Amino acid sequence: MAYPERYELVFEEPTPAADPTDPAPRKGVERDAVTVRRTARAGAGGFPVYEDETGIVRAEISDRGEVRMLASGGQQALSTPVTARSLDS
């Protein structure tokens, strides 16, 4: 299977009242986007591992666009992105 070379991961600022199971973007919330590229590695689920240019942000992204964030160092508090968009056309 051909996997995209790049994804954009979009993260939202967490709020105490936010429902983590609600996938809908919230209005008036800070968002950060990180571009990640496919590496030669595969994650525990067998899907490609993607990382940003610093190697700090790492994620396994399935063929259905499901994202599993991977720790790149100790003491890391991982957040799950709200969306993962393929940047390949």
CA gap 41, 61 in Å, rounded = 12
pTM above 0.75, yes or no: yes
Running DSSP on this structure, what letter comes out for residue 26?
Answer: P
**DSSP per residue, the chain:** -PPPSEEEEEEE---TT--TT--SPPTT--EEEEEEEEEEEE-TTSSEEEE-TTS-SEEEE-TT--EEEE-SSTT------SEEEE---
pLDDT digits (tens, 9 = 90+) for 45-82: 999 999 999 999 999 999 998 999 999 888 888 888 88
pLDDT of amino acid 82:
82
In the predicted model, is pLDDT for residue 43 greater than 80? yes
Residue 10: what residue type? V
